[in-house]
Amino acid sequence: MEDRRKNYRVWNAQQSSLKPVSPREALPEDDLVFFLLDLIPQLDLATFHQHYAREMRGQPPFDVTMMVTLLVYAYAVGVCSSRKIAAACERNLAFRAIVGDAPPDFRTISDFRMIHQAAFRPLFVEVLRLAGAMGMVKLGNLSTDGTKMGANASRHKAMSYGYMKKDIARLEAEIEQLLKQAEQLDAEQDAALGSRRGDELPAELKRREDRLAKIRAAKARLEAEARAKAEAEQRRRDEEQAQREAEGRQRRGKEPAPVDPTPEDTAQTNFTDPEAKIMKQSNKGFDYSYNAQAVVDAEEQIIVAAEVTNQANDKQQGVPMARAALDNLAAAGIEQPKAADGTRTPIPNTADTGYFSEQAVEELENMGMDPHFATGRQKHHEAGILPVAGEPSVEASAKEKMQHKLRSAAGKLLYAARKHIVEPVFGQIKSARGIRKFLLRGLKKVPAEWQLICLTHNLLKIWRRACGAAAS
């Protein structure tokens, strides 16, 4: 039988490697990289340029607009490591379209990101201004939520308060023993040589002293945190007691134990990033993390405020996040909705039960917000509860009034929308783009990276909107 086989298309890897490839010809016309190359130069990058206006010496730096475009595109496609960005500049056509034939090295990229941390907040506002001008922010429902983002800190570089006390005692004993050995060696060398040598022991002593100093500093941090927490708890108890006395009520139950300002033995701190805290991850146990907060507009999931805290609980975040949202909206020139008589109408603000407190509700209402915060976890069988009508009683507490609001027809619709406003945003960032942890460290640097992550989220929304408009 005749030997027959399928014919294949001609392939010559050596010939194709000799041909120059143009990104403009190889990539789609509406690719994200070309959109950013057209858009970023039109944004106000004055904050980035200010750094170089102060220093005129040395070689010319890389073009600021190019570096901003490179960082924005890299984060938009989930490439955050400076080394991976530098590698992509040599191998990826989209990255080559930005940097051309002179790509920056990883150190230049890392330094640029570090130097210009403060500039990402104004850039966030610039992108928000663009989204507002395109009609993508309507302020019909601002939804607030947080997600735990991994910190750049290893669990193996941490120590508990109880172990610190033991390790300090061990190191002090070792240092004392080394000092005795050094004295003995000095005496022996003075008798034999008339001069002191002992080159090895001082280095060994210094290593232990350095470790002891780091552990003592970490121990002091835990003790300061414990004192601050104890003072806050004591203030809370004093306020509750004052309120009971004013209302003529007695405390129920037995008297609580005195507030102890000493850290628990299990309290931990991390040597790599001391400001990161152990937080519960979704179905993944506990790890060092930050609580990344966002306020998202319902119209097209545009983030209007992005902040970071190292507090695992969201209880204290509702008011500062609303304030940050209002400040950003004002800076971006996005006006609050107005009624027919010209007065500003409150902006609905939805959040889950972790944000509710009577004080937060009161402050938000005074700021011009209309909070819709859950007061407790909704059980599955409660999803079909019929809405209520009318107004709550005058004697109702703030919690009862909020429960009544959330059971009204309008309140149910507003709060139900929260699930498809803010929660998918975190999914798009963490799952679709693969950004699950921060690369920078500390509460001064991490918020800047979160601003960069969130402004690239908004730019992706704007790009898809622009592509859709162009197609239609």
The residue whose two tokens read 């057209």 is 38
N-terminal to C-terminal alpha carbon distance within the chain: 57
Give per-residue pLDDT as tens, 315-365: 899 999 999 999 999 999 998 888 777 788 899 999 999 899 989 999 999
**Please, what's the largest Cα pairwise distance for the chain?**
106
pLDDT of residue 206: 67
156 secondary structure, DSSP code: G
Q: How many CA atoms lie within 13 A of 426 on its CB side?
A: 21
Residue 43 reports pLDDT greater than 90? yes
pLDDT of residue 291: 94
pLDDT of residue 197: 47
CB atoms within 10 A of CB 142: 28
pLDDT > 70: percent of the chain: 81
Residue 42 reports pLDDT greater than 70? yes
Token representation of residue 182: 């050094």
290: three-class secondary structure by DSSP: strand
Residues 394-433 as b or e (16 or more Cβ within 10 Å = b): eeeebeebbbbbbbbeebbebbebbeebbeebbeebbeeb
Provide mean pLDDT across the span 389-407.
79
Residue 217 reports pLDDT greater than 80? no
Provide mean pLDDT across the span 16-32.
81
Which of 6-15, 115-124, 150-159, 161-170 is the least confident region? 161-170
The residue whose two tokens read 């945190």 is 225
Q: What is the mean pLDDT of the chain?
A: 83
Residue 241 reports pLDDT greater than 90? no
Between the CA of residue 141 and those of 327, 372, 421, 454, 464, what are the distances in Å? 17, 10, 9, 18, 22
Residue 407 reports pLDDT greater than 80? yes
Provide mean pLDDT across the span 255-278.
77
Token representation of residue 97: 């379209």
At 168, is the pLDDT very low, low, confident or very high (cuts 50, 70, 90)?
low
CA angle 160, 162, 168 (to 5 degrees): 95
Torsion of CA 182, 184, 188, 194, to 10 degrees: 60
Q: Is 108 exposed, middle or buried (0-12, 13-18, 19+ CB in 10 A)?
A: middle
pLDDT of residue 174: 66
Residue 373 to residue 357: CA distance in whole angstroms: 9
- Which residues lie closer than 8 Å to 160 by C-beta, 6 or more apart? 265, 266, 267, 268
* CB of 340 closer than 8 Å to CB of 320: no
Highest mean pLDDT among 190-199, 229-238, 375-384, 419-428: 419-428
